Structure formats: structure tokens, C-alpha cells
Chains A and B, each alone.
Chain A
Amino acid sequence: MGDDGMKINEELMILGIETSCDETSASVVRGGREILSNVVSSQIESHKRFGGVVPEIASRHHVEQVTYIIEQALREAEVTMDDVDAVAVTEGPGLVGALLVGVNAAKALAFAKGKPLIGVHHIAGHIYANHLVEELTFPLLSLVVSGGHTELVLMDEHGKYEILGETRDDAVGEAYDKVARTIGLPYPGGPHMDRLAHEGEASIELPRAWLEADSFDFSFSGLKSSVITTLHNAKQRGEEIPEETIAASFQASVIDVLVTKTMRAVEKHGVERLVLAGGVAANKGLRARISEVCEERGLKMTIPPLALCTDNAAMIAAAGSVMYEKGQFADDRLNAQPGLELER
């Protein structure tokens, strides 16, 4: 059980590069699991005034930063390019202009230094953030919750992904941010909603989208509309609902659906480990609830620390290490793929 027999060379040194959205990041990971450095430069301050990430501005920042961040990552790891065995880079999904900077930097580096090149799926990276914390064991189920994704991914072995279900409309992080915006919270609203949710009571009954009985898909747009309608109706009656109450009620609905569906998938597929992935895995309510049910059932569980939940290059290097051992290399024609599929 658990072990699919793949061994990652302990000395394997992978340089990871991640530029899929608004973080420029580079990292050195040894043996697939040991983080020697993980430098993340966030552009969030540049995008705040626009109320969201502006793709052209993100791309401009990436070009300005990319070599500096790579140098910093090597320096902090106390290695040089000569020590690196391969360059792994996020090829998609993400913002095409942003991805292009990382992909072309990685290709240039690989060519100039005669190193192999590896193209990594961003969500595979998010899942492999867990491998940096605790060795992955199979079969495992990953609940991926981020700004652009909400999906349940089943893995029978390293590097193989089967999507059991995914959102049919908004991603969960997106829903958090949209609701946050309607109640006037700054961008990105997710963390603020989380904080407020802990200060309030989930006293408003909001809908839960269960979809078909056997479906592992999600839907959050109805919930979002329901929040807006509730606020609107209250206003018409001259009442004011405290933002803490809205946040707590919204979060209760989200967590209920996420955790219930996840546990159903755990049971159906008899997995032996559950891992959380993506920026929304930073959510305190979700972490607490998932830990609780896993403990009740004696299910092994990993949740990455906050810094590994959001976009970072260490997770790309970790996923890339497995691809290195499997001989899954890219060539000079590697391109940014904004709509890249995970199951390939």
C-alpha cells in the first residue's frame, strides 16, 4: 500500500520558476522534498488599486523581476546553476502573458546552461506543495481550492491525476472575492471574509449547491447571488446585516459543501490520504473542519503551511522533481498554455 515504488534521487536539484499570475517566484528543491530556497515576490500592491490582477501589468512586473528572483533563489540555496539538474517551470494554466515570461526565462536558462527543461501544471504544483510537508502516499485525494480552481483530484501514483469533480461556474476563491467586494472589503477579499467569519454567527440560512446526488462537481454562483439578494432585501426593509454575519453564513455554506463532497469522495474511492491545495486552503474555518473530520475517521491528512498554499515556485520544483524521475521533459518549443489540462 501507499508506495508506488518511485524513488526520487536524494541529490536531485531542481530549480523551479512560477509566474502564472501575480507572483514572481523561484526556488531550489533538493530530492523532491527539501526546500533550499523559495523566493516569492508578490505584486499585490501594484494591482490593489485596480481591484484585481491586471494581466498586462502583471506581465510587465514579471519581466522586470525574473532574473533577479532566480539569482536570489540560487543565492539563498547556496548553489549555482552548475549544481542544478533541471529547470522546471509552470507552463499553465494561468494568465498567458504572465506564463510567457517564466516559460521563456526557463527555456533561455536551460539552453544557455545545457540543462533539461520540465513544464509543470500549476495545479499539480499546488498538490505537490503537500509533498514538501509530508511524503505523499497513494491512493490520495486532493481538494484543490484556489482563485481559479475548485476540484477533487484522485491520484493513484506520483504524477497521475484524475479529476473526480470540479466547479461548473465560479472557483471558490473567486466566490470569496466577489462576495467580499459586494460588502466593500478590499481585494483580495478571501482572507478578510475568513477573519470576519470568525467574529460572527452563521445565522442566515444560505443555499448549498449539492447538484446531482452522485456528482462531485461544485457550483458557487448561486450562493453568491443569494448573498447579494439577501443583502438587497434587508436594505429594502431598512435593516442592516452585520458583515460578520454575512461572512460567517457564507463561509458555513462553502465549508459544508466542500467538506461533505470531499468525504463522500474519500469513501467512494477508499483513499488513504487527503491533501489540501491552493490559496483557499489558507482558510482557517476550512482547515479546522477538515482536520476535525479526518481525525474522526482516522484518515491521514496534509495541509500545507500558508506560504506553500499560495503561488510559489517550490511547489513547481517539487512536482517537477517527480517528472524528472519519470523522464517527462519538454523541448525548446515549450509554450505558455493558459488552458492546460491536468489529466494528460
Chain B
Amino acid sequence: MNVLAIDTSTYVMGVAVLRDGQVAGEMVTHVKKNHSIRLMPAIRMVMEEADMKPEELDRIAVAEGPGSYTGVRIGVTTGKTMAWALGIPVVGVSSLEALAANGRYFDGLISPFIDARRGQVFTGLYRSRGGEVERVDEDRLILHEEWVTYVREKEEPVLFLSPDLLKHKELVGADAAINPADHLGRPSAIAFAGMKKEPGEAVHLFAPNYLRMAEAESKWLEAQKERE
């Protein structure tokens, strides 16, 4: 299967191309630069270097969130529009699941997380089985402190992975992966996870998984409740 994978959910930007299920090209940057400007040139470059024409693609896999709302929308919009134009399926992969894949040889619990401001993180719990990670606890938005306590209570070895590790070092300390590169999700992981998924819904319905309501909406709901 020929797959294009896209990740713009955090400051990590990733593009990968699989040909016949093998990695033909992969690019990762971790800089505070604009995804909207850089994503399309990156896709063009990786595709060209891998000698992959758009019409040869069988599927597009996208990091569907959680992460930066705007970032996720750039990847999702690009992925779904390309898929629609080419008449191929688009599949969403959790950006946390893709990050968890970096712990695929770890024996224990894997907790990838992305900073969500005000002490909160987007996170979830995964475990590796035979070199592949599977989700054991839903992705969620939670106060980081509360989450770390909850995970440690399980009394199992745990591996924390995050592009925002520096901001959260105190809480996770020695349980964070040692190699800095392991804290950046790889787009090829999104491609492989996307390859195994059933492309269920129509391309038109493909949308980000924000894991959080728009602020105006939650405030409005709160105001409604108070009125009652």
C-alpha cells in the first residue's frame, strides 16, 4: 500500500511516504515555524524524493489530534482535500497514539502527552504488545498532576513521551524517555497505524478530534446552566 502521512498537530511537523508498505521517505522538523507555509512544500519534496506521484497513493493518514487546534486543522484539511481530489480514503490517527509508538519496545505503560496550557495535558495510556502499541485508556484532557498520580498508582513501570517535556519535567522526572528524539512522534508511525485502520466514514465527514470544546461554547453552556 502506498501511503502519505501528515502530522501538524504540535510544533513537530512530519511527512512520510510509504511505498508498498515500506518507508520510502520521511521528514520531521521541530521548530516554531508556520505549518501552513511549510506543509505543502514538505509534502511535495518528500513525494518527489520518493518518486511518488499523487495518483499512485492508495491512502492518506493524518494526525487527527489532539494538539494545537489550528495545527490539526492544517493537517486534516490538507489530508482530506487531497484524499477527496484523488478519490482515495483518508484515515485519522491519534497524535498521542503516534507518539506512543516510540515506546514500542518498552515493557510497561506508555503515557504520551501534549501540553494543553493551564497545567493541563492531552494524554492517554498505551501498552506495547509484540512491538505494537495499543491503547489501554482513552485519550483525554486532564490536569497533568492528577494524571501522573493516577498513572503511578498503577504501580507499573511507566514511560512518558512528549514534545513538551521541558515544560513538564518536574512531574515526570526519571520516567521520561532518555533519548530526546523519542519525544517527537514519527509520521511513519502514523502511516503504519493508518494502514491498519478501516477507512470507515466518507472523506467529507473526516474532521479533527479536538478533545475540547471551543471556549466560547463551553462558556455559553456554563452560562445556560447558571440561568437554570
Contact = CB atoms under 8 A, between A and B. Distances in A.
A113 interface: yes
Contacts of B36: 100, 103-104, 335-336
Contacts of B37: 333, 335
Interface stretch (B75-83, B125-133, B151-159): B75-83
Contacts of A71: 84, 204
Interface residues of A, number: 34
A341 interface: no
A112 B70 CA distance: 22
Contacts of A332: 40-41, 44
Interface stretch (B12-20, B93-101, B167-175, B211-219): B211-219
A47 to B, nearest CB: 9
Interface in B63-85: 69-70, 73-74, 76-82, 84-85
Interface residues of B, number: 35
A108 B73 contact: no
Contacts of B38: 333
A107 B214 CA distance: 26
Contacts of A96: 70
Given A97-B69, A101-B77, A332-B44, 14 more contacts: A59-B69, A63-B76, A64-B205, A64-B207, A70-B84, A100-B70, A105-B78, A107-B78, A109-B81, A111-B82, A112-B82, A113-B85, A333-B38, A336-B36
Interface of A: 49-50, 54, 56-57, 59-60, 63-64, 66-68, 70-71, 81, 96-97, 100-101, 103-105, 107-109, 111-114, 332-336
21 contacts: A54-B216, A56-B214, A59-B70, A60-B214, A67-B80, A67-B204, A70-B81, A81-B85, A97-B70, A100-B36, A104-B73, A104-B74, A104-B78, A107-B40, A108-B85, A112-B81, A112-B82, A112-B85, A112-B86, A332-B40, A334-B40
